Amino acid sequence: MACSSSGSFAIIPLGSLPSLAPGLNHQADDAAIAALTKQIFQGTAAISPADLPAALHRALSPDLASTSLPDPAAAGGDANSGLGFIHRKLPSSDVYFVVNSSNMPLATSLTFRAKHNRAWALSLDTGRPLGRQSGNAPISITLSPYQSIVFILDERPPNGTSGDPDAGLAGIGAGEVCTQQPGKTLDRFDGGWTLAFPGSNPQPLTSFTSWASLPGRKFYSGEAVYSATFRLNDASIPANRLFLNFGAGTPIQDNRRPGSAGIHALIDPPIRDAAIIFVNGKRVGSLWHPPYQVEVSPYLRRGDNSIEVHVYNTAVNSLAGQPARDYTTLNAKYGKRFDTQDMNLIEPLPSGLLFAPTLSQGNGRPACIEIP
């Protein structure tokens, strides 16, 4: 028997419908059992145990209804939309892990089957709450490619009441797309950036390109530091939040053979491959996945400001520049115990910042759930 949140229920026959009365003298009561079965199930056919999960989802309201899910009864999300979720029920709350598994931004409105006094979003990068909403109204969000968020539904007091530890957070408005969409570009820094590798002086940067295309850096793996200074006066400091944006990345096609091993993110990122951002000497955060932006408002000041972006690539470039190994002596002593895995096919990968960062004005919400 499946019960819905509204209190109604549905009876799902499993295996086969009742047709015989119990006991040795069941023949006298078989007709009554058959009549009762017909009355209860009203022609509904019994299902197999394998079909039970789908039947439960049809009988119950959707565990997570979304405007991006064409079939809201699809368990765990829909492969075509890219939206997936996992739901865990705790003694006094419900936890939803929601993910955009596609390489495109996903705008959607979420309605949870679990009903609680309050819903709040949690960043998986920082562990901090990102926003909240009282009641059970739909929550509209935009997820960047491969972005995930945890929603916790519980019975804490409504917004702003005594005893609410998150009373300072902004509410997630019903029907509102609570997303950081950078607005007016305030500064591009195109002419003011320098690039420094370990052991060398900073050099003026005329364009943002891969380290592999720079003289002497084709096979370099390690760290490089991008630096810029800029000035903010009273007129150029908006009331809204300011973000350092590195670009959205470019979706790519999966051209591998079907069934290829390994995990492959289908996006060409603007940062290759990870970055740590400092503003005025203070660490702001790190970026290695979408969205490739970080809020810098609390670290900026009127007057001169400095930005440092420490970028790190992988060891592939260094490996690509190493000569082929000669295992003749090793094989002669121990026998040939392995084959090298196509080391001769390794090529340097794009590295560094591939697009000019921009300082952008956000939408002014102090706690918007797209920004980790």
CATH number, domain with residue 220: 2.60.120.260
Is residue 13, in this structure, part of any structural domain at all? Answer: yes
Is residue 140, in this structure, part of any structural domain at all? Answer: yes
pLDDT, position 239: 63
Answer for the pair 37, 18: CB distance below 8 angstroms, yes or no. Answer: yes
> Which is higher by pLDDT, 184 or 217?
217
Residue 290 and residue 353 in one domain: yes
From 53, 76, 93, the end of a domain falls on 53
Q: Which amino acid is at 116?
A: H
State pLDDT tens for residues 286-309.
Answer: 999 998 988 888 898 888 889 999
Is the per-residue pLDDT at 76 higher than 50?
Answer: no
Residue 35 and residue 82 in one domain: no
Widest CA span of the chain, in angstroms? Answer: 99
Q: Is the pTM of this model over 0.75?
A: no
Of 61-75, 191-205, 226-240, 325-339, minimum mean pLDDT range: 61-75
Is residue 161, in this structure, part of any structural domain at all? Answer: no
Residue 126 and residue 263 in one domain: no
- Distance (Å) of CA 359 to CA 33, 241, 292, 355: 74, 10, 12, 13
> Which is higher by pLDDT, 198 or 120?
198
pLDDT, position 202: 95
Of 106-110, 193-197, 235-239, minimum mean pLDDT range: 235-239
pLDDT, position 261: 78
Beta-sheet strands, E only, within 33-137? 64-66, 83-89, 94-100, 106-112, 118-122, 129-134
Is residue 177, in this structure, part of any structural domain at all? Answer: no
Answer for the pair 119, 155: CB distance below 8 angstroms, yes or no. Answer: no
Residue 217 and residue 352 in one domain: yes
Residue 357 and residue 215 in one domain: yes
pLDDT, position 235: 58
Residue 99 and residue 129 in one domain: yes
Residue 244 and residue 206 in one domain: yes
Is the per-residue pLDDT at 176 higher than 70?
Answer: no
249: containing domain: 185-361
Chain mean pLDDT for the chain? 78
pLDDT, position 266: 92
- Distance (Å) of CA 266 to CA 72, 119, 356: 26, 32, 22
Percent of the chain with pLDDT over 70: 77
Is the per-residue pLDDT at 257 higher than 80?
Answer: yes
pLDDT, position 177: 30
Residue 77 and residue 43 in one domain: no
- Distance (Å) of CA 19 to CA 10, 31, 35, 52: 20, 8, 9, 21
Is residue 369, in this structure, part of any structural domain at all? Answer: no
- The distance in angstroms from the start CA to the end CA of the chain is 41
Structure tokens at 138: 């739909």
Residue 141 and residue 209 in one domain: no
Residue 149 and residue 284 in one domain: no
The DSSP annotation for 244-310 comes to EE----EE----SPTT-SS----EE-SEESEEEEEETTEEEEEESSSS-EEE-GGG--SEEEEEEEE
Answer for the pair 171, 140: CB distance below 8 angstroms, yes or no. Answer: no
As for how many domains the chain has, the answer is: 3
Distance (Å, rounded) from C-alpha 163 to C-alpha 202? 52
- Please give the average per-residue pLDDT across 69-78, as a whole number: 43
Residue 213 and residue 89 in one domain: no
- Please give the average per-residue pLDDT across 331-354, as a whole number: 90
Distance (Å, rounded) from C-alpha 111 to C-alpha 83? 13
pLDDT, position 270: 96
pLDDT, position 185: 54
